[in-house]
Structure 1
Amino acid sequence: MAEVICPGLPASWINAWLAAIGATVLDPRLRLHWTRGGTPQAVLSARGADPVALLIESWPTRQLLEDMPISVAWGETPAVKRKVPVDAFAARVRAARGHRHAWTLSSTMTDLHVDSNGEVAHAPFDPAGPGTIKWLHHRLMKVHCEVEPTAERLLESLDGTAVRIRDNGLGFDLTRMGSQSDDSGKFGKWVDPAVEVLAFFGLAILPLRGTGTDASLWKTSRSSAIQRGWHRPRNRGRELWFIWPAWGSPLDRAGIDALLDIWNRGRKNWPRVGVHAAWRSVRYEPKATADTTRGFGAEPL
């Protein structure tokens, strides 16, 4: 197995964890595990091939991204923007059934919770954005344009030496924000676009579900929608925690999918399934009631 250790993808960084998984989604030949000791770092491996070469080979083209069912305009279905009526979502899902990227719908939205306006629920990893960057697919297209998929460029991101660009990215990375004195307004945020692109594909194994609640009938303000990996801690009101592990055995996408089903966040089976560290999300605290910024940091378990 050829291996590449990735200091630029520490497991304690949500976007890096998603990005490392995203690499295995892009290329099924890639395996992922995490180093032990200190802050675990991603290790990408492949049998008989250079992992970076495979990543270059499988890097998504603009045409591939434009053909995703999450695009605003897609086929003959109604447009899907930030506020998505349940009928428009259902039409898009029916048309996308069997599409290789149908997960872009099921990992970002669900009609198993419909709010009082008749609109589907969004996942925590599909947050609203400020101004004209409200739609996740639009944000993905912006960062994708900033990446040239060469070995040198991708290695910079894997090593953690890539120069960040001024952009909001996908919109849920806490590290894109500096201190208040560094932030010069709504565009005063910095991201590594290659990590953002990979993180988007990591969402493929995190579907969104719900209880079938129609809030217009039940008059409830609390969404029943829950994305895989997110949990409702007891006695914390409407707060949600995302909890994620680092593991020691090289796993492909299917293996990671299975591990997320069987690992126990309470440490009971960590040694048996190969998990050696885990974290929970810490939500960004808005500066004011009008602050639409979203972001998640990490706290070790």
Structure 2
Amino acid sequence: MTAQYTYSIGTPGTPWSESEKQQWYENQVIKRSYLNEVVVHIDSLRPEFNVEQYGTLEYNAGRYPLYVISTKEFNAQKPTVLITGGVHGYETSGVQGALRFAMQYATDYQDDFNLLIAPCISPWGYETINRWNPMAIDPNRSFVPQSLSPEAAQIMAYVSKLGMSITAHIDLHETTDTDNSEFRPALSARDGIFQDNWQIPDGFYTVGDAQNPQETFQRAVIESVEKVTHIALPDEAGKLIGSTMTQHGVINYALKDLGLCAGFSNASYTTTTEVYPDSVNATPEECILAQVAAVTGALNYLREQKL
């Protein structure tokens, strides 16, 4: 038996029943405040932007309103850019990076773009520092029709209802040491299927769409972030988290096939950012700034293309 199956809940090799999922849920503890760390900043943006509640999550732990921040005057002639954070609530810089961009930089781009910013898609995950939602579902494998994740379903429904084409979608994430110490062992236990640990990359990288990689767009994001923090290098096999690097700091996934957030919007340009907050060479603030640099790098590239 490997360490992957050493988990406190369930029987190795047997998928969890609802009983084990409930046991897992009961072990989760609120560790920080969505209201005090996220909503208060969203509210501060009301004078300059539209702030709309697009949904609500009703859980035993509480009621979580879901918000999107957008430019006040949408113009059909401008490209629309979707920025999402906190799909995995434990990935702090994704949430705070989206907020930091909205608070400090979004006004610089609203003349050129319609901006849609959903900074925290999984607020319960943010409060409990968790990858999953209370039903032990990973929202970032749930951007599919008839999604079982209300976090994924509600943002998809909101974007669909807008009825507009999304030019670019930037989804902000982290890869952390807890991926190996907690979340992949939990995944092994939940599904009863062995999960290899991956080598956690030290540094920033992006995940493009294997069906639409947009290599120069990815490169622009990397070059922007490289001014703020270091870019992850490949392992001995030339890979990051088991995937072959296609260029410096970039790997590709089949976004739609995997039900990943960046794939649901059908955007022409997509990127999923990944920073490593546990690096001895980076600080929490540096990780936030890296997320901001990824967004501004993407927008600067799109502006230069005169889309």
Q: Going by fraction, where is helix more abundant, 1 or 2? A: 2
Give the TM bin, normalised by the shorter chain. under 0.3
